[in-house]
Structure 1
Amino acid sequence: MITNAAQGTRGPSFGTRVHRVEDETLLTSGGTYVDDLRVPDLAHAAHVTFVRSPWAHAIVTRVDTAAALAHPGVVAVYTATDLADLPAPPPFQRAEDGTSLFAEPLLTGCGQRVRHVGEPVALVLTTSRYAGPDVAALVKVDFQRLPAVVGPAQALRGSTLLFEGTGTNVADQRDRDTYDDAPFADAEVVVEQEITNHRVACVPIEGRATAAVSDGRRLTVWHSSQNAQRCRSSLAAALGVPVEAIRVVIPDVGGGFGAKIGIDRDAIAVAWAAWRSRGAVRWAETRTENLLAMTQGRAQLNHVTLAGTLQGRITAYRLDVVQDAGAYPRTSTLAPVTCRMAPGVYAIPEVQTGFRVVVTTTTPVNKYRGAGRPEATAAIERAVDLFAAEIGLDPVEVRRRNFIPPEAFPHRTATGVRYDSGDYAAVLDQVLRVADYRRLRTEQAARRASKHRVALGIGIAVFVEMTGGGGETAKVTVDARGRVAVLTGSSAQGQGHQTSWSMLVADALGVAIADTTVTHGDTDLIPEAVGTYSSRSLQLGGSAVHQAAAAVRDRARPHAAALLGVAEDDVVLDTCSGRWHPVAQPDRGAAWCEVVAHAGGPISAEVEFTAEHPTFPFGAHLAVVEVDTETGKTTVLRHISADDAGPILNPVLAEGQRQGGIAQGIAQALFEEVRHDDQGTPLTAALAAYGAVAAPDLPDFELEVSQTPTDVNPLGVKGIGEAGTIGSTPAVHNAVVDALAHLGVRHLDMPLTPDRVWAAIATADDEQRGG
Structure 2
Amino acid sequence: MTPTGSILGTAVRRVEDPELITGHGTFVDNLAAGREGVLHAVFVRSPFPRAEISSIDTAEALEAPGVVAVLTGGDLDRPVPMFASASDKVDRYPLARGRVQYAGDPVALVVAESRALAVDAAELVDVDYEELPTVVDMELAAEAGQPQLYDELPRNVAIHRPDPGDPLEGAEVVVRARIENNRLATAPIEGNAVLADPTPDAAGHELTVWLSTQHPHLGQRLLAKVTGVDKKAIRVVAPHVGGAFGGKAGISPDHAAVVAAAVRIGRPVSWTETRSEAMLSMHGRGQVQYAELGLTREGRITGLRARVVGDCGAYAGFGGSFAAGSTRTMGQGPYVIPEVRFEGLSVVTSTAPVGAFRGAGRPEAAALLERILDVAADELGLAPEEIRRRNFVGPDQFPWDTFSGRTYDSGDYDLPLTEALRLADVDGARTEQARRREAGDPRQLGIGIASYVEITGFGGSELGHVEVHDDGTATVRSGTSAHGQGHATAFSMIAAERLGLPLDRITYEQSDTATVPRGGGTGGARSLQMGGQAVEKAANELLERARALAADLLEAAPDDVELTGGSFSVRGVPGHEVGWTDVARRAADQGEPLAVTTDFEQQHPTFPFGSHVSVVEVDTETGLVTPLRHVAVDDCGRVVNPLLVGGQQHGGAVQGISQALWEEFVYDAEGTPLTATFADYPMPTTADTTAIEAHSTETPTPYNSLGVKGIGEAATIGATPAVQNAVVDALSHLGVRHVDIPCTPARVHAAITAAAAGETDPWREPPSAFDDESLLAALGGEEAPDDVEV
The TM-score range, normalised by the shorter chain, is over 0.9
Aligned counterpart in structure 2 of residue 126 of structure 1, from 99, 112, 133: 112
Aligned counterpart in structure 2 of residue 43 of structure 1, from 36, 46, 67: 36
Partner of 2:285: 298
Question: What is the letter of the counterpart of residue 121 of structure 1?
Answer: V
Partner of 1:711: 702
Distance change in 2, residues 1:219/1:10 (3 Å): farther
Partner of 1:144: 130
Q: 1 CA distance for matches of 2:569 and 2:66?
A: 68
Partner of 2:76: 83
Aligned counterpart in structure 2 of residue 427 of structure 1, from 407, 412, 416: 416
Question: What is the letter of the counterpart of residue 687 of structure 2?
Answer: P
Question: What is the letter of the counterpart of residue 19 of structure 2?
Answer: T
Partner of 1:537: 527
Q: Does 1:461 align with 2:447?
A: no
Q: 2 CA distance for matches of 1:441 and 1:487?
A: 50
Distance change in 2, residues 1:32/1:87 (3 Å): closer
Question: What is the letter of the counterpart of residue 216 of structure 2?
Answer: A
Paired residues for 1:107-126 under 5 Å: 107-109=95-97, 112-126=98-112
Q: Does 1:405 align with 2:394?
A: yes
Partner of 1:195: 179
Task: Compute the displacement of 1:55 (Å).
Answer: 0.4
Q: 2 CA distance for matches of 1:379 and 1:415?
A: 16
Q: 2 CA distance for matches of 1:609 and 1:89?
A: 27
Partner of 2:66: 73
Paired residues for 1:158-169 under 5 Å: 158-169=145-156
Report which stretch shifted further, 207-216 or 588-597: 207-216
SS in 2 for 1:307: strand
Distance change in 2, residues 1:382/1:555 (3 Å): same
Aligned counterpart in structure 1 of residue 615 of structure 2, from 609, 624, 627: 624
Partner of 2:302: 315
SS in 2 for 1:472: strand
Question: What is the letter of the counterpart of residue 321 of structure 1?
Answer: V
Q: 1 CA distance for matches of 2:169 and 2:696?
A: 42
Question: What is the letter of the counterpart of residue 686 of structure 1?
Answer: T
Question: What is the letter of the counterpart of residue 153 of structure 2?
Answer: T
Residue ranges of structure 2 left out of the alignment (5+ in a row): 761-790
SS in 2 for 1:366: coil
Task: Compute the displacement of 1:478 (Å).
Answer: 0.7
Q: Does 1:385 align with 2:374?
A: yes
Partner of 2:778: none
Aligned counterpart in structure 1 of residue 428 of structure 2, from 425, 433, 439: 439
Do 1:87 and 1:239's aligned partners in 2 also have CA atoms closer than 8 Å? no
Do 1:193 and 1:303's aligned partners in 2 also have CA atoms closer than 8 Å? yes
Report which stretch shifted further, 434-443 or 57-66: 434-443
Partner of 1:34: 28
Do 1:10 and 1:506's aligned partners in 2 also have CA atoms closer than 8 Å? no
Partner of 2:774: none
Partner of 1:97: none
Partner of 2:404: 415
Do 1:92 and 1:101's aligned partners in 2 also have CA atoms closer than 8 Å? no
Deviations 1:117-149 (A, max 9, x none): 110000000101112221101000000001221
Do 2:76 and 2:93's aligned partners in 1 also have CA atoms closer than 8 Å? no
Task: Compute the displacement of 1:10 (Å).
Answer: 9.7
Task: Compute the displacement of 1:161 (Å).
Answer: 1.3
SS in 2 for 1:155: coil
SS in 2 for 1:51: strand
Residue ranges of structure 1 left out of the alignment (5+ in a row): 1-8, 95-99
Q: Does 1:154 align with 2:140?
A: yes
Question: What is the letter of the counterpart of residue 298 of structure 1?
Answer: R
Deviations 1:414-472 (A, max 9, x none): 22210000001111110111122222222212221222111111100000000002221
Partner of 1:552: 542
Question: What is the letter of the counterpart of residue 192 of structure 1?
Answer: R
Partner of 2:356: 367
Partner of 2:783: none
Q: 2 CA distance for matches of 1:581 and 1:30?
A: 41
Q: 1 CA distance for matches of 2:316 and 2:151?
A: 15
SS in 1 for 2:475: strand
Task: Compute the displacement of 1:186 (Å).
Answer: 2.5
Do 1:48 and 1:125's aligned partners in 2 also have CA atoms closer than 8 Å? yes
Aligned counterpart in structure 1 of residue 12 of structure 2, from 6, 14, 18: 18
Distance change in 2, residues 1:88/1:591 (3 Å): closer
Partner of 2:555: 565
Partner of 1:4: none
Question: What is the letter of the counterpart of residue 178 of structure 2?
Answer: E
Aligned counterpart in structure 1 of residue 476 of structure 2, from 463, 486, 489: 486
Aligned counterpart in structure 2 of residue 679 of structure 1, from 670, 676, 680: 670
Do 1:11 and 1:509's aligned partners in 2 also have CA atoms closer than 8 Å? no
Task: Compute the displacement of 1:241 (Å).
Answer: 3.1
Q: 2 CA distance for matches of 1:337 and 1:93?
A: 13
Partner of 1:256: 244
Paired residues for 1:206-355 under 5 Å: 206-215=190-199, 218-294=206-282, 296-331=283-318, 333-335=321-323, 336-355=325-344
Partner of 1:179: 164
Q: 2 CA distance for matches of 1:195 and 1:138?
A: 46
Paired residues for 1:635-654 under 5 Å: 635-654=626-645
Task: Compute the displacement of 1:252 (Å).
Answer: 0.3
Distance change in 2, residues 1:402/1:93 (3 Å): closer
Q: 2 CA distance for matches of 1:467 and 1:276?
A: 40
Q: 1 CA distance for matches of 2:183 and 2:430?
A: 33
Deviations 1:239-281 (A, max 9, x none): 2332112111110001010011111100111110111111110
Report which stretch shifted further, 654-663 or 445-454: 445-454
Partner of 2:739: 748
SS in 2 for 1:688: coil
Task: Compute the displacement of 1:92 (Å).
Answer: 5.2
Deviations 1:455-510 (A, max 9, x none): 11110000000000222101111111111111210111111111111111111111
Q: 2 CA distance for matches of 1:93 and 1:382?
A: 27
Question: What is the letter of the counterpart of residue 568 of structure 1?
Answer: P
Do 1:12 and 1:503's aligned partners in 2 also have CA atoms closer than 8 Å? no
Q: 1 CA distance for matches of 2:33 and 2:465?
A: 27
TM-score (norm 2): 0.92
Q: 2 CA distance for matches of 1:161 and 1:12?
A: 61
Do 1:466 and 1:614's aligned partners in 2 also have CA atoms closer than 8 Å? yes
Distance change in 2, residues 1:319/1:61 (3 Å): same
Question: What is the letter of the counterpart of residue 428 of structure 2?
Answer: R
Partner of 2:779: none
Deviations 1:215-259 (A, max 9, x none): 487111100011100001111122233211211111000101001
TM-score (norm 1): 0.94
Report which stretch shifted further, 601-610 or 366-375: 601-610
Question: What is the letter of the counterpart of residue 179 of structure 1?
Answer: P
Question: What is the letter of the counterpart of residue 237 of structure 1?
Answer: K
Distance change in 2, residues 1:722/1:89 (3 Å): closer
Question: What is the letter of the counterpart of residue 180 of structure 1?
Answer: G
Partner of 1:521: 511
**Number of residues paired by the alignment?**
746
Aligned counterpart in structure 2 of residue 103 of structure 1, from 91, 100, 107: 91
Report which stretch shifted further, 265-274 or 154-163: 154-163
Q: 2 CA distance for matches of 1:714 and 1:237?
A: 38
Task: Compute the displacement of 1:712 (Å).
Answer: 0.5
SS in 2 for 1:271: helix
Question: What is the letter of the counterpart of residue 767 of structure 1?
Answer: G
Distance change in 2, residues 1:728/1:165 (3 Å): closer
Q: 2 CA distance for matches of 1:221 and 1:233?
A: 12
SS in 2 for 1:459: strand
Q: 2 CA distance for matches of 1:81 and 1:102?
A: 18
